[in-house]
Amino acid sequence: NAGVTQTPKFRVLKTGQSMTLLCAQDMNHEYMYWYRQDPGMGLRLIHYSVGEGTTAKGEVPDGYNVSRLKKQNFLLGLESAAPSQTSVYFCASSYVALVHTQYFGPGTRLTVL
Amino acid sequence: KQEVTQIPAALSVPEGENLVLNCSFTDSAIYNLQWFRQDPGKGLTSLLLIQSSQREQTSGRLNASLDKSSGRSTLYIAASQPGDSATYLCAVARGNKLVFGAGTILRVKS
């Protein structure tokens, strides 16, 4: 039981490049989330999903897109990376939103030059 | 808009000391409040979850309290150990989402 895994762990991009971050969970959780964490700030919600085939915007969705084609996977895409997207990205999942806690992946450290 | 504030931002204590971390939030209409631990370079690990109808939760040396009316929660750590060194984040749940504070960086010196 791996829990929540994230791929890749580190990535460096040039401004304007695109990439996809992959999150996978093996706990059969319905809800999945993408957050970013910046120095001196808490985690901020980018997008989330309440089930397979659904997505919704969080607090800071601009510049990101997501897809949830399979229940166990949640993809975060950056179409045209900007230096302001340099951050640590965390994926999380939960069985039922709010009633149960969220389980977090180890994070992806992204640098945009 | 819900805002979550954690004080202090950083704390350094000698081993064995009891300590309190504070969390305050601006909107009392929350579903629950959670405390997480984050080790350097790692993801978050849930410590305690307090439902809005509860006043406190305990797990081992950790005790978290919730006062919705005043918009405050405290995390009490008894007999601190060097292994407790980490960043502690609180988060309040509203709608389908968690709103996080910036965290308290705790260092326990041996």
- Residue A92 and residue A74: Cα distance in Å, rounded? 10
- Are A12 and A113 in contact by the 8 Å Cβ rule? The answer is yes
In tens, the pLDDT along B2-32 reads 899 999 999 999 999 999 999 999 988 888 9
- Residue B3 and residue B24: Cα distance in Å, rounded? 8
Verify whether the Cβ–Cβ distance B93 to A42 is below 8 Å: no
Tell me how close the Cα of B74 comes to any Cα of chain A, in angstroms.
Answer: 17
Q: Does A69 touch chain B (CB under 8 A)?
A: no
In tens, the pLDDT along B56-87 reads 999 999 999 999 999 999 999 999 999 999 99
Verify whether the Cβ–Cβ distance B102 to A90 is below 8 Å: no
Verify whether the Cβ–Cβ distance A50 to B46 is below 8 Å: no
In tens, the pLDDT along A3-47 reads 999 999 999 999 999 999 999 999 999 999 999 999 888 899 999
Tell me how close the Cα of B96 comes to any Cα of chain A, in angstroms.
Answer: 6
- Are B66 and B73 in contact by the 8 Å Cβ rule? The answer is yes
- Are A49 and A43 in contact by the 8 Å Cβ rule? The answer is no
Mean of pLDDT values over B31-35 = 93
Verify whether the Cβ–Cβ distance B100 to A103 is below 8 Å: no
- Residue B100 and residue B108: Cα distance in Å, rounded? 23
**Residue A99 confidence (pLDDT):** 66
In tens, the pLDDT along A52-69 reads 999 999 999 999 999 999
Residue of A31, A40, A98 lying closest to B32 (CB–CB): A98
